[in-house]
Structure 1
Amino acid sequence: MHRALVASLVTLLTFTAAPARAVTLEQAMADPDWIGAPVEHAYWSVDGRSLYYHLKQKGSSIRDLHRVDLASGSDAIVDPQAMANADGPDAAFDRTRTRAAFVRNGDVFIRELANGRLVQVTRTPQPKHSPQFSADGRALQYRSGTEWFSYDIVAGVSGPAALVKAEKDPDAKKPDDLGELQLRYFSTLRTVKTDREAQKKHGEDFAKGDPTRAPLPFYIGDDVKIEATSLSPDGRSLLVVTSPKGHDAGKTGKLQRFVTESGYEEQEDERTRVGRNDPAPQSLLLLDLVRHEQHKLALDDLPGIHDDPLKAVREENEKLKRERGLDTKADKKDDASAGKDKKKEDKKDDATKTRAVRIVADAEDGGGGGIAWSEDGKALAIQIRAIDNKDRWIASVDFDRAKLVNQHRLTDPAWINWNFNEFGWEKDNRTLWYVSEETGYAQLYAKVPGGKANALTSGKFEVSSPVQSADGQWFYLRANAEAPYAYDAYRVATGGGKLERVTALKAVQDFALSPDGRQLAVLHSSAYVPAQLAVLGAEGGAAPRDLTDTRTPEYKAKTWLDPAIVQVPSTHTKQPIYAKFYKPKDFDASKKYPAVLFVHGAGYTQNVHSGWPYYFREQMFHTLLTEHGYVVLDMDYRASEGYGRDWRTAIYRDMGHPELEDLIDGVAWLAKNASADPQRVGLYGGSYGGFMTLMALFRAPDVFKAGAALRPVTDWTQYNHEYTSNILNDPQLDPIAYERSSPIEFADGLKGALLIAHGMIDNNVLFEDSVRLNQKLIELHKDNYEVAAYPMERHGFVHADSWLDEYKRIYKLFETNLK
């Protein structure tokens, strides 16, 4: 055996025993309970005197609910007895702020703020959602599934606010020709029919005027499915989102489980592949609950709704098909035999065709994620997205004419961001606010419908999660205004003005404004401190008061190597590429070091920031690599979040190419600034990072000598629709984009050493991806690769044994090929 390899293996075997290291590999990959769980889902009590948060139990996935009393600082777990008087998250307040309502354990409660009295409104097994007070404060409205209920606070009576049935109206059936003949023959039948109809109308009219009666049902037809509903606070209107019943979701495969409790193989359905079928188009129906009328809200007047934004893409692909001799008679639509009349007719159809839309993607469990009512119920705004991903509209509703009125259109030749789409109504019930990327960066705007928009924030940074204070004077939001990697809470006056910094923590993950608007609770972290809870004055200027420190003594005793955030010059863009750089404590510029690049997953996420990383295990692994003589670079390549629209969409129809250019720039930076040996460079990453590892090894084999592709996408035609169609369109329409973006197309370029590791029950990036690539490499006669399969892991590994096995293999790969 080669002496260098023997030395590497000896190093590997003693890896967990070196006394001077910050952490061993076994500890880094162990259950993170040894670190201490991060604080999760913090929220205020409705009186603003306490804060609640969730914390995972040690050795279990169970989360305990904690309550911190701000006056005394005491922190206690809410046990079953105390739960009876606990508040729930996302409380809704009435307009006088004398009552608050919330959902706890699936049931609805009301808290009287003057005396603290708690009233349980429901006690049923069906979960409830979306509590809101009526505009006059006399009732509490809430939802179960897509059905809305109203609870009369004074009378203590609860009942349906509306009855909507996806059925045909049983009384709307018209008689056939035989029935009409009978009515013409027999006057007695006509009398009975007239009397029956009169009784029905009398009953309906009487029921409308009797507030103690259940509402009359609306029949919206048996050809639709109710996707979401939203009730106006004044109780006068209900918006219903529908889709065609029986919409074909597309063919799904079967995911196979081999290690099971039963001892037999088991199967579950996989998700639909991209382009196998588009999501169901949605339509809008406005129900007038007072007049008992229903109106369809047509989309025809939305600007751009009749455009064909993919026309040039379609023509490019059709041209390539003809050049390759793949076009068929059916493809030759411009054939002379079609005639001029046919061309005119096609052009006319294109001009009148309405694009399919959805009412945003987060309308889960019958909720209206893209629907916003003003507090008085007199104004309604709806967010609408084109299924082709190129347009987002925010439209208000003209109730008198039952029409949509466009208030803002955001269009993008690449794709509309799935983040930064918040919107709503200000406390004045007449001003619409929204977040838009129209300048290239997500910023906050406000406008009175029909008027001109006012930019409340501006700059080359991103804002998100706007929350208006109870008095309507301020918007609080999260932004990276100081630097792309530093996130803090800020505020801006609702009328516009200076963006004021509230926190100076550089790593605020989330915040919650107290009910009275005077305090701000923040979840904040740092590179080696998981999220903790703190509180400070809402006006800022003072240091926050820390309420938690969940780290274990063992973890706090460790000394860590803080990564430096550096700016890598780009050879392809004016913007630098932000990256985390790790180097040995005893770094010697006169030496040459092997280098490793880490490639984060998800594509559109941000890993170069000042806070606790999602990849905390990998961060510890990078420290270990530096202790073994490596330099490590972790880059926010193009496609990453936090750097604006152009950085995000650089990969449109071209995944894997701009990012690879950035990684190669990272190698050049390491060689120039960190004494890295450009002949000894490896990389690794999971999911999108695994995809990029493959692209690097296949397309730049002379730059990267070894790589570990973890749970990688190998062929984008096999991934899901929601993510992939945004970036690459549909594979049937745009095969060019898939061909240039799928690693399996470039597999013949592999020269270096490759490790493929994949969970066999991964229901995100399917295990089939790695199996198919394995077959391709077999056919290409490649032999410098291995595949590690994990029978009990999904996309994100959860078992410490699997983590350790995977990272032992990664370390061995680098030691064997880069040392």
Structure 2
Amino acid sequence: MQRALVASFATLLTLAAASTRAVTLDQAMADPDWIGSPVQQPYWSVDGRSLYYRLKRNASPVRDLHRVDLADGRDTVVDPAAMANADGPDARFDRSRSRAAFVRNGDVFLRDVASGRLTQVTRTPQAEASPQFSADGRSVQYRAGADWFVYDIAAGVSGPAALVRAEKDPEAKKPDDLAQQQLRYFSTLRKLKADREAQKKHADEFTGGDPTRAPLPFYIGDDVKIEATSLAPDGRHLLVVTSPKSYDAGRSGKLQRFVTESGYEEQEDERTRVGRNDPAPQSLLLLDLGARKQEALALEDLPGIHDDPLKAVREENEKLKRERGAEVKPEAGSPDKKKDAKKAEKKKNDEPKARAVRIVADGEDGGGGGIAWSEDGASLAIQIRAIDNKDRWIATVDFDRAKLTAQHRLTDPAWINWDFNDFGWLKDGRTLWYLSEEGGWSQLYAKTASGKANALTHGRFEVSAPALSPDGRWFYLRANVEAPYAYDVYRVAVGGGELERVTAYKGMQQFALSPDGRQLAVLHSSSYVPAQVAVAAAEPGAAPRELTDTRTADYKAMSWLAPEIVAVPSSHTKQPIYAKFYKPRDFDASKKYPAVLFVHGAGYLQNVHLGFPAYFREQMFHNLLTERGYVVLDMDYRASEGYGRDWRTAIYRQMGHPELEDLIDGVHWLEKNASADPQRVGLYGGSYGGFMALMAMFRAPEVFKAGAALRPVTDWAQYNHEYTSNILNTPQLDPIAYERSSPIEFADGLRGALLIAHGMIDDNVLFEDSVRLYQKLIELKKDNFELAGYPLERHGFVHADAWLDEYKRILKLFEANLK
């Protein structure tokens, strides 16, 4: 069966390799519509008989919704009339799986599985989200903003389930001295007040006891901001995540736009820089909806929350300041006052402080990601992350005592991965499952509240996207078991056991289980085939059925050079450095070739894999370079995704150093194995790859003779907080890490030819990053460098003419300096 699986996809590979003509630079950088759009966001219909997916229209930004009838394979675009009966993504089923609820166009719908009858639950201007079924299956719960509503299926009536207001309770206002005096003086006022209170008590009794009435709001104070809310399926509790309302978000700059429709220059706010203010700390509030009580869930008992994981870093930086003769401000006041102040400060510092935390939420609509209820609503788990990035906790809630109970702590002296944070409950509602890197690789674990954690998967590979089958027997997941660069669907029993391979694509990107759990929708690709969708039985060895091939005839007619995946020996680690190697078709080992290294972006990203790369233009450019007589190496340097925790965290407090060691190892490999001329080596990359191009040109000028740094970070103190503080802490606390990691500190090392290219309205890596470095190079009296600015481009270029201009400059740089 596995042979059949491989053979079914071989036709796509054969077509991709059809040899007719080579790519030109104009075509490689053209609008990618000529390739054919990739399939996006596949999901099942509620009845499992159809598959939906999104596909971009040719020469249009519009993405149509397609529906494939699996009985006859008919693929149709869902038009406006048909949309009225279409299912939406991420459908939630009741416990009997007889009904499903989903959101489409911001409204909630309910589908009966057996009859197919569709009921529109809401039709409102605001967007509803997070539909779920009540524990008894009689109603659908959903959220609008911070408030929760419930739709009674039998009665066909919607109403509020829980209303939360970040305001003071207007009824809780106590009379001041003057008002108390007035009541003491005048019996008529006392009578009027007593009548009002009696009427309110009567109304509250009926409101609380009459289920047909809307509940009264909860007032949680006007000093907080509501970040997220989550309703228990049994309707008894609401969890509220809050942050201080007055929290200062920090100063941000202004991004300047020069080419505008108005004809006038325009400005927009930039993001806040790292360390200019930490993310707002968050707190947890548990609302008992029946008893109308609210209690804070204290975080002080989480294990390790009083630790100071940055103590040694702080001391190292303070020591360096003293060694550099940093000015020490004289203390004010008399000797006795100074002594008393020191004692008070020491006592204050010796007191254990709870570190600030945030809830690991999904971020898009403000709820859900860090909060998991069991299906019956009797169990609640919350994922909590320290703002200093060193700890992640999963805690359950004791409703009777309104207390958190820690179930799992993941701690890392570097930083907790922003991936691999999935967690939830098994069908029994009492067993937690979660992903953890605690053993060095992301693996799947299960744990009862009072028991020991059980590792369901084991090995030197990464597990992600676990999905529990509807019958609760299996976990299906994405993993690179065969090799770091080969991803497929695997499954493992919920009790543990053998990890079974389900697909054999090696370039599997995403999967979705059918509503009955018997089939998989698989999004897959290969080096030159963009994402396509297939269906297969959800069991090992099943042959897939391909549903799409969206490539154009022009693209299929191209002749592509298959990249060879090689393991470059590392001079600094036991693990090899995996890389894609491209060489001329007429490669002659007796000749010497100029060499180019491509450096992928993001840092934590994997580009050495068997799927269609995010850098598909760059891959075509590598084909063109080999046609012109270059050898090309594309490396997953240390920091890259897919190789375990140690590979990821090697760059902690020293960005640009381990990665440069790996790139230099790549140059040595090319010299030894690909006849590369070590005197004619260049490199290029964008974003993190641009940062690395600068580090290579500045810190290893004897190795790299020419480099193109595209949209590069030049000073990490200018980048955002969320990404940078994970790896380098903050510049106020750890200036050492920023000094050793920022290219602008090493700019004097430039010897070769440098191209800097940057979108001028880039709101990720700001254009001023490149401008500041440009000024530094001017002051250092360097030559043979240039800055190309693109007035209408942000971080990811979207206009073909800008892509072409940028890569013409890169090609010219290499041709002039490496040939």
Shift of 1:184: 3.5
| Counterpart amino acid of residue 553 in structure 2 | P
Q: 1:144-174, CA deviations, whole angstroms, 9 ceiling, x for partnerless residues? A: 1222111111111111111111111111111
Residue 509 of structure 1 corresponds to which residue in structure 2?
509
Q: What is the TM-score when the length of structure 1 is the normalising length? A: 0.96
Structure-2 separation of matches of 1:313 and 1:434: 30
Residue 102 of structure 1 corresponds to which residue in structure 2?
102
CA contact (8 A) 1:385 1:393 kept: yes
Q: 1:397-433, CA deviations, whole angstroms, 9 ceiling, x for partnerless residues? A: 0000001110101011110000000001111111110
CA contact (8 A) 1:758 1:767 kept: yes
Structure-2 separation of matches of 1:356 and 1:84: 46
Is 2:367 aligned against 1:367? yes
CA contact (8 A) 1:363 1:370 kept: no
Structure-2 separation of matches of 1:516 and 1:676: 55
Is the partner of 1:328 in helix, strand or coil? Answer: coil
Shift of 1:116: 0.5
Residue 158 of structure 2 corresponds to which residue in structure 1?
158
CA contact (8 A) 1:99 1:110 kept: yes
Residue 436 of structure 2 corresponds to which residue in structure 1?
436
Q: 107-116 or 197-206, which moves further after superposition?
A: 197-206
Q: 1:237-261, CA deviations, whole angstroms, 9 ceiling, x for partnerless residues? A: 1100111112111111111111111
Q: 361-370 or 160-169, which moves further after superposition?
A: 361-370
- Where in structure 2 are the equivalents of 1:125-144 lying within 5 Å? 125-144=125-144
| Counterpart amino acid of residue 397 in structure 2 | V
Is the partner of 1:730 in helix, strand or coil? Answer: coil
Q: 1:745 to 1:233 in 2, by over 3 A?
A: same
Shift of 1:366: 2.5
Residue 200 of structure 1 corresponds to which residue in structure 2?
200
Q: 1:757-787, CA deviations, whole angstroms, 9 ceiling, x for partnerless residues? A: 0000000000000000000000000111111
| Counterpart amino acid of residue 808 in structure 2 | K
Shift of 1:21: 5.1
Structure-1 separation of matches of 2:332 and 2:792: 50
Structure-1 separation of matches of 2:361 and 2:44: 28
Residue 408 of structure 1 corresponds to which residue in structure 2?
408
Structure-2 separation of matches of 1:341 and 1:482: 62
Residue 652 of structure 1 corresponds to which residue in structure 2?
652
The alignment of Structure 1 onto Structure 2 pairs a total of residues equal to 800
Shift of 1:365: 2.2
Q: 1:331 to 1:802 in 2, by over 3 A?
A: farther
Shift of 1:516: 0.2
Structure-2 separation of matches of 1:271 and 1:322: 33
Residue 481 of structure 2 corresponds to which residue in structure 1?
481
Structure-2 separation of matches of 1:786 and 1:755: 5
CA contact (8 A) 1:230 1:371 kept: yes
Residue 209 of structure 1 corresponds to which residue in structure 2?
209
| Counterpart amino acid of residue 30 in structure 1 | A
Q: 1:20 to 1:132 in 2, by over 3 A?
A: closer
Residue 271 of structure 1 corresponds to which residue in structure 2?
271
Structure-1 separation of matches of 2:350 and 2:726: 22
CA contact (8 A) 1:146 1:365 kept: no
Shift of 1:349: 4.2
CA contact (8 A) 2:331 2:338 kept: no
Is the partner of 1:259 in helix, strand or coil? Answer: coil
- Where in structure 2 are the equivalents of 1:516-535 lying within 5 Å? 516-535=516-535
Is the partner of 1:542 in helix, strand or coil? Answer: coil
Residue 222 of structure 1 corresponds to which residue in structure 2?
222
Residue 257 of structure 2 corresponds to which residue in structure 1?
257
Structure-2 separation of matches of 1:331 and 1:411: 38
Residue 770 of structure 1 corresponds to which residue in structure 2?
770
Residue 13 of structure 2 corresponds to which residue in structure 1?
none
Structure-1 separation of matches of 2:625 and 2:655: 29
Q: 1:429-478, CA deviations, whole angstroms, 9 ceiling, x for partnerless residues? A: 11110000000100000111121101000111100011100000000000
Structure-1 separation of matches of 2:646 and 2:336: 42
CA contact (8 A) 1:21 1:624 kept: no
CA contact (8 A) 1:89 1:103 kept: yes
| Counterpart amino acid of residue 161 in structure 1 | A
Shift of 1:357: 0.6
Shift of 1:208: 0.9
Answer 1 or 2: higher relative contact order, Cα 8 Å, separation at least 6: 2
Residue 744 of structure 1 corresponds to which residue in structure 2?
744
Shift of 1:543: 1.9
Structure-2 separation of matches of 1:553 and 1:430: 54
Residue 303 of structure 1 corresponds to which residue in structure 2?
303
CA contact (8 A) 1:492 1:499 kept: yes
Q: 312-321 or 358-367, which moves further after superposition?
A: 358-367
Q: 1:191-249, CA deviations, whole angstroms, 9 ceiling, x for partnerless residues? A: 44334323322221221110000001111000001111001111111100111112111
Residue 243 of structure 1 corresponds to which residue in structure 2?
243
CA contact (8 A) 2:20 2:559 kept: no
Structure-2 separation of matches of 1:364 and 1:25: 38
Shift of 1:557: 1.4
Residue 72 of structure 2 corresponds to which residue in structure 1?
72
CA contact (8 A) 1:318 1:327 kept: no
Shift of 1:723: 0.3
Is the partner of 2:263 in helix, strand or coil? Answer: coil
Q: 1:555-596, CA deviations, whole angstroms, 9 ceiling, x for partnerless residues? A: 111121110000001011111000000011111111110000
Q: 27-36 or 198-207, which moves further after superposition?
A: 198-207
Structure-1 separation of matches of 2:159 and 2:738: 52
Structure-2 separation of matches of 1:571 and 1:351: 46
CA contact (8 A) 2:40 2:55 kept: yes
Structure-1 separation of matches of 2:103 and 2:309: 43
Residue 380 of structure 2 corresponds to which residue in structure 1?
380
Is 2:809 aligned against 1:809? yes
Structure-2 separation of matches of 1:601 and 1:462: 20
| Counterpart amino acid of residue 408 in structure 2 | H
Structure-2 separation of matches of 1:601 and 1:551: 26
| Counterpart amino acid of residue 736 in structure 1 | I
Q: 1:166-195, CA deviations, whole angstroms, 9 ceiling, x for partnerless residues? A: 111111111112222333344444444334
Structure-2 separation of matches of 1:351 and 1:173: 36
CA RMSD of aligned residues (A): 1.6
Is the partner of 1:193 in helix, strand or coil? Answer: helix
Is the partner of 1:125 in helix, strand or coil? Answer: coil
Q: 1:343 to 1:422 in 2, by over 3 A?
A: farther
Q: 1:332 to 1:459 in 2, by over 3 A?
A: farther
- Where in structure 2 are the equivalents of 1:307-318 lying within 5 Å? 307-318=307-318
Structure-1 separation of matches of 2:332 and 2:627: 63
CA contact (8 A) 1:306 1:350 kept: no
Q: 1:332 to 1:357 in 2, by over 3 A?
A: farther
Structure-1 separation of matches of 2:109 and 2:402: 35
CA contact (8 A) 1:490 1:501 kept: yes
Structure-1 separation of matches of 2:524 and 2:345: 60
| Counterpart amino acid of residue 762 in structure 2 | D
Q: 1:454 to 1:331 in 2, by over 3 A?
A: farther
Residue 293 of structure 2 corresponds to which residue in structure 1?
293
| Counterpart amino acid of residue 693 in structure 1 | A
Structure-2 separation of matches of 1:494 and 1:482: 22
Shift of 1:332: 12
Is the partner of 1:276 in helix, strand or coil? Answer: coil
Residue 791 of structure 2 corresponds to which residue in structure 1?
791
| Counterpart amino acid of residue 182 in structure 2 | Q
Shift of 1:639: 0.3
Q: 171-180 or 600-609, which moves further after superposition?
A: 171-180
Residue 604 of structure 1 corresponds to which residue in structure 2?
604
Q: 1:263 to 1:331 in 2, by over 3 A?
A: farther
Q: 1:85-122, CA deviations, whole angstroms, 9 ceiling, x for partnerless residues? A: 11000000011111111111111110111110001111
Structure-1 separation of matches of 2:330 and 2:287: 44
Residue 449 of structure 1 corresponds to which residue in structure 2?
449
CA contact (8 A) 1:22 1:559 kept: yes
Q: 124-133 or 172-181, which moves further after superposition?
A: 172-181
Shift of 1:340: 8.3
Structure-2 separation of matches of 1:729 and 1:600: 23
- Where in structure 2 are the equivalents of 1:1-40 lying within 5 Å? 22-40=22-40
| Counterpart amino acid of residue 622 in structure 1 | H
Structure-1 separation of matches of 2:540 and 2:22: 36
Q: 1:504 to 1:331 in 2, by over 3 A?
A: farther
| Counterpart amino acid of residue 314 in structure 1 | R
Q: 1:21 to 1:323 in 2, by over 3 A?
A: farther
Q: What is the TM-score when the length of structure 2 is the normalising length? A: 0.96
Q: 1:657-704, CA deviations, whole angstroms, 9 ceiling, x for partnerless residues? A: 000000000000000010000010000000000000000000000000
